[in-house]
Amino acid sequence: MSVKLLAFAQAGDRLGFRERVIDCAPEETPRAILARLAPTLDPATLRVAVDCEYAGWDAPIGQASEIALIPPVSGG
C-alpha cells in the first residue's frame, strides 16, 4: 500500500524531503519505516502522527494513508 510521509522542519532537512509517497505494509511500524528510510535518524528526537493523530513508534500503521514526522517545537 502507499502512504504519504510528511517531514516537518528539521525532520525534512535531515531526510532531504518534505513529502514523499512510500510503499509500506499494514504491519509495519513508524519506527521500522523510519529505519528503512533513514537508518541514522533517531526517532527519540521526533514525534510521529499517523492519520493526524499522535501515535507510538511501535504500533503498526494499519490502513493509514499519512504519517507525519514532527520535530520538537519551541517558542511562545
Give me the average pLDDT of each 10-residue run along the chain (76 residues).
95 93 97 94 93 97 97 69
Q: What are the φ and ψ backbone dihedral angles of 5, each rounded to 5 degrees?
A: -105, 120
CB count within 10 Å of CB 17 equals 12
* pTM for the structure as a whole: 0.91
Q: Residue 69 in contact with residue 7, Cβ under 8 Å?
A: yes
Name the residue among 32, 22, 38, 37 with its Cα closest to residue 58. Answer: 32
For residue 43, the 8-state DSSP code is G
Q: Is the CATH code 3.10.20.30 the one for domain 2-70?
A: yes
